[in-house]
Amino acid sequence: MKAPNEILSVWNQFNSFPMETLTKVWYFEKGGSQKQRDVSLMKEHYEQFGITGNCFDLAIWLLDEFKQAGVKAYSIGHDLHTPEAHVGVIAVCEKGNRYLCDLGDQWIQPILIDCEDENFRNDRMTGYFPAADVQIEQREKDILVHYYRPNGKVSRQTYDTTPIESNILLQAAEFSQNHIKQHPLLECRIPYKNEIAHFEFYNFESFLSTSEGKFYDEPLHTIEEWATRISEKTGYDAGFVLEALSIYQKLR
């Protein structure tokens, strides 16, 4: 079920990349009329502040890296041109097998989605998604992912594997970057004991999801304290985080 090296070598470049909306609100205030950044600008901001972006930023950046590496890849998603939009990437190996690559949801690594392949398994697997086992069920045009949490909760997500045309992706990305939600969100993968756990910051609360359960952090009372905590978790420039959180604070 694991991707071959040709895909992993690209994916692994993004192992420390959070998914977040701090960059989104910051660039909405700082940028020009076009709100979706191109890859060169994303790389520039990464060098300056250590920042990444939301699921559209990550998908566009990942697609570009696959292209540079000579790996066929395309974007997939749902609810495009709405505030609930989400996008990921399908990468295709030299054998023709497809692998789901979803940085927006902070998967640990890509996963095979073609049930015809001899390596495909339909049982529960660990090591692909933080703090949960996953099970892949392939359908005609989509795949269904089952997530099994430590507390016994099971959730499901459907991925439509129909390729999104590049111009449609950019239009949907521009729509997303122009629609700011009230509460800030940041998710990142963090080493925890012998696993990769999931840290989430949302609406000025944060917690860590692990195979042992969910652990909430102590509440903080100032955006300066939050900027420090987020910077320590992500490596983001603390000044950038404080500036982005200040913008969100005005929206509350």
Give tens-digit pLDDT for 22-67.
Answer: 999 999 998 889 999 999 999 999 999 999 999 999 999 999 999 9
The CATH fold of domain 5-251: Arylamine N-acetyltransferase fold (3.30.2140)
pLDDT at 31: 86
Find the helix or strand (DSSP H, E) in which 197 lies.
strand 195-202
Contact of 169 with 75, CB cutoff 8 Å: yes
Give tens-digit pLDDT for 113-125.
Answer: 998 888 999 999 9
Going across the sheet that includes 132-138, the strands are 125-129, 132-138, 142-148, 154-160
Stretches where the chain sits below pLDDT 50 are none
